Structure 1
Amino acid sequence: MHDIRAIRENPAAFDAALARRGDAPVSSQILAVDEERRARILAAETAQAEQNKASKEVGAAKARGDEAEFERLRALVTEKKAEIAEMQAEAKELDTQLADMLSRIANLPADDVPDGADETDNVEINRWGTPRDFAFVPREHFDIPAVQNGMDFETAAKLSGARFVLLSGGVARIHRALAQFMLDTHTTENGLTEVNGPVLVLSEMMQGTGQLPKFGEDSYQTREGWWLIPTSEVSLTNIVNGSTVEESYLPRRYTSHSLCFRSEAGSAGRDTRGMLRQHQFEKVEMVSITHPDKSDEEQKRMLRCAEGVLEKLGIPYRTVVLCTGDMGFGARRTFDIEAWLPGQNTYREISSVSTCGDFQARRMNARFKPADGGKPQFVHTLNGSGLAVGRCLIAVLENGQNEDGTVTLPEVLAPYLAGKLTLALDGTLV
């Protein structure tokens, strides 16, 4: 959500920032509604003052026996009362219209975000690890012989349709081990607090983090009105929804392993093979609630948390800063981490780490009280994948595949797999 006062003060700068995203200027439409809303509020206040004045004079006219003046004033009070109700109703309707307009406008990019139209304009800022030199042509995850018995797309399609997978045996256990490894790393080494939250949330919570009202088609809603979370960013960030906390409460750093659900409405035909893009998947999410002065520093810290997971697993990756045309709706700045997938011979996104500034906080009305006793301020919110579990599974399987069809797993997973670090051809761990 945007601050209407900032738009009033500098509409040209607001439109220029949106133009960097490729969005059309909207300040004139917004300010027109705002001006009309403020005019109705002023009219209601003026009528209220006139009603109050007439109400005081009614009694005096009655006392001195001026019946004509008494009736005129009484009629004026009734007229003003109706006028006030009408103006207030119109102001409320315009206020709702203004809030809806503001809620559909993307966050403004930070000044240091590179300009660009799409992912081809993203800028690489870091690269770690050297892709393995295979003595054979590496396969994609679903074609690795040891994986095929434990990654069943046909049965999943029978159960649920396209873009689902049934994991079993050793593959399922590796998937579970990866999630546990990520949670343990974030809680014991990175200082995050583990949270197990709901995957069904109210519309107000989806509104708070920016999925609604504009992107409802990207998520699933139940008949009872709950929404299935597209990521536990929704559950974690909204912990402070409607709250005013003490400055000493900040920062709050959360992590959660959860199921996530996305309709993939805008990705028809993309990544239809394998489990790279699914309607149901698991992710270990990171969310931070911070002081505004600390949010840029916090984003870098969160990025290192996510990169560190891949480094422990020995997965080569590169980090890019997204250009203005490729950023998500709620982000001011986003770093994407892309893991090397030898089966595709390319890097693919495995984590996005975004700072939202006060964009989500304004939608949630989430504030903090400064320690010096000043006026409450909006907190800053950040979110990032730490990591997408299914995509991490793909990276581990493809990077660890052997010519004989087996898979050698990262040493760091040994405690979670009873020391068994080979996925055999029959799909078991040995």
Structure 2
Amino acid sequence: MSEPQTTGDPAPDQQIDWSSSERSATPPPASTDAAPADPVNPVAEDDAVQVDATEEDGEIPVDTVSDDSATDDGSRYIGVDPHDLTLEQRVAAQEAIANRPVDELPMDFDDLDGDFGDFEFDEAPSVTVSTLAEPPVAEVASAIEVPDASRSAEADLATAPEAIDTPKELQTLEKSVRRAKSPEEKQALMDSRFVALQAHPELLEGTSINHVDDYNDLVRRMEGMQDDDPQKTYCKGRIDALKASDESLATAMSDYNNLSEEMQKYASGARGVERNWTAVERAFDKMISLGLQPKYHDYFLAAQAARDRGDVDEVVDRLHAAHALNPTTEVNDWISDIELNYGQVDITLPANLRNNPDVFKPVITPWAPDQRAAIDAAKTSLTDTGSFSGSLPAGTYVLNGANIVVTAGGHLDVNNRGTDKSV
């Protein structure tokens, strides 16, 4: 298809495509040459209708309106003196202008977005005619939403939960939940399901999501909510219903509550119990094995237990899990502190250096208990397994008589000499 010819050059920042099938809101530049004859309705230049888009309404004599023009398509009225047309004929002409390709219009129609409200008439009984701000074709085109071929039906449901109001639609959505390729996609679909079930609680009878997954989703939603939040009340009601209908879930929930209380007891050292982070870690491991969603305070206590044994990477993982449930300042500050004071280190010792507790040590031992615990954990791992991969406090260390430097936010691979993947 050849490029259409236009007169005049467009501004550098304005590219005009006259081949578009939709009528452009900006008219083509008016030609200074004589207008070519219209192939459908030859019109003399002197007879062409002049359109002024600045006028809001037009006054048209009542006695010029006739009923026999209602079925005209308007094409034959283009270019005719508007004084010789009836009201319906003028409107039909306006619609015909909107529907005609630009290159088939008389060149005098240099304002295709204009209206028929700029004509002056002799005094006569008249009515005010509302002009067409947008031609009907443009209105219809803008009202049609073109589907995105890259979107699936399930994705459309996920972004339009109000459309999910039948058991079949819910089943389609829940199939998409099970097929989700990422946690983010699954959560987005579960969000749509949550909204749909709030609007249509009767659909719960036909849900195919298992009770444990349903419970875990509700727990995640409740974290961080205020007690007087209606959403929290709704979630609690759903959880109570799940517990009443599923004996195995009820048993798991009871076990979870006991383990959560045990974690708090050993973490606080209250009621005559000595603080014991190993016991906290043990209770948390049992909690994870239940398959139920831990809550914010569970992750926070578990992060402290990991810190006590020097596993900084596990601390960060548990803090991020807590943050996902409830992004508190306390958790954010703790994560930031680790990022500012620790770096990643990979060390693998040759066989002859293993089982030597003095092969690795800091030049200056830090005073912070958690930093000392991280260094001790690295030494233990090197002694027992001959390797260590994890986070250490920033600083200088001696490894088999040679100095190595750990930078905050960096990544040092000792066995790949000279490699420091600092970020």
Length-normalised TM-score, structure 1: 0.20
Query: Which structure features the higher share of strand residues?
Result: 1
Bigger radius of gyration, 1 or 2?
Answer: 2
